Amino acid sequence: MENKQIWKFEIKEGSIRMPIGAKILSVQSQRERGMIWALVDPNAEDEPRSFAVVGTGEPFDETNMTYIGTYQESPFVWHLFEWKDKQ
């Protein structure tokens, strides 16, 4: 049986390094900062994962993007998308 752990990553526009195969479980705010919780293999090598943060009402093109989740940083509501093929 593999030993997995849940790790927390701060959301930032652009690239976030995560262990290869990290499975995103949740997106929420913690202390007014957007966070991602992911199930990871702590022994896996890191890879860059590319994200876009979109505000409610902002125009954007979701082509090649996957919706991850929504979180709030008062007074703003943000929507997190991951690029499908951008590293």
The model's pTM is: 0.88
pLDDT tens column, 13-68: 789 999 999 999 999 999 989 999 999 999 999 999 999 999 999 999 999 999 99
Whether residue 87 is predicted with pLDDT greater than 60 in this model: the reply is no
Residue located via tokens 């979109």: 54
pLDDT at 22: 97
